[in-house]
Amino acid sequence: MQKRQLGNHGLTVSSVGLGCMGMSEFYGAHNQQDSFSTLHQAIDSGVTFWDTSDIYGPKTNELLLGDFFKQNDIARSAVTLATKFGIMRDDKGNFLGFNGRPEYVKQACDASLQRLGIECIDLYYQHRMDPNVPIEDTVGAMADLVQAGKVRYLGLSEAGSETLKRACAVHPISALQSEYSLWSRDIENDILPTCNLLGVGLVAYSPLGRGFLTGTIKSRSDLEVGDWRLNNPRFSEQNFADNLLLVEEIKRISASLDCTPAQLALAWIAHQADNYVSIPGTRNPARIIENAKAMDLMISTKQWADIVKRIAKHEVQGLRYPAESMAVLGR
């Protein structure tokens, strides 16, 4: 597995990471045995950049990872752990808003450290921006955590360009985590140029379009009852069939290159810049192996240009989140 550097201050991670959210919530049935098998395979495959958050579960995803390290003889240094704070949920999972107050930042960090069973978080993100707290105050508190040895590097998730600039003026930001994929490219016009200017790496979440770009979801009935994608605009009855045309094109292209659609999608992100990494989520060890092999693809710049041109003929239908969730992105 290739390594890539995020930011300019030494954070190095696997080119393909692992989003752990689905092991606890949102994407249907899950269990600890499958999750542990997937985590073991991730280590064996060099997929050692793992992403979680205190709201996944809520809280249970961090506890799951903490239990994995407790129950297995895995060196802490074997994995680069990223977690997040800033979105509030109660124990029943209800969303309560955003919190970037300095005192909360430190409370949230201590709670995450306890659940994960570790002494230091490798990469700590503000999950969403709090409109009521200046970013300087929030990042200042995050910087205090670095000084205290509780956090190694700082990141923001779905932040806008101006917020990113103001944050970097307080403390180096190593990574911006945002949705980015062959069907979600809206950050290319403004946010990614800002990242390049500031030397901030990109961590692309949902790089496989929440599973849609893999070609394995052929109808809405393939999703379990309670799967949040059933309420996602791109998976709606109105948009599903049109978006399948895009996936069919990706399947034809990947077949011609002797790779899977997922591998093509992940390789495309890696091709965009040397400091871009992806964190596809899965609960399946076989998918870990498949995703890791995406970094072995040899595709020329000319081929990529042709691939993007073919895909661009199919316009994506639907927002990437419901309207109320879109409203809080890019603050």
Distance CA 226, CA 243 (A): 21
Contact between residue 128 and residue 159 where contact means Cβ atoms under 8 Å apart: no
Q: Would you call 104 a catalytic residue per the annotation?
A: no
User: What would the two tokens of residue 279 be?
Assistant: 């964190």
Q: For residue 13, what are the β-bridge partners?
A: 4
Sheet of 49-51, strands arranged across? 18-19, 49-51, 80-85, 121-126, 151-157, 175-179, 201-205, 276-278
Distance CA 281, CA 291 (A): 10
Distance CA 147, CA 152 (A): 9
Q: Taking Cα atoms as reference points, which of 84, 102, 88 lies closest to residue 139? A: 102
Catalytic residue among 27, 56, 124, 205: 56
Residue type (1 letter), 145: L
Q: What is the set of active-site residues?
A: 56
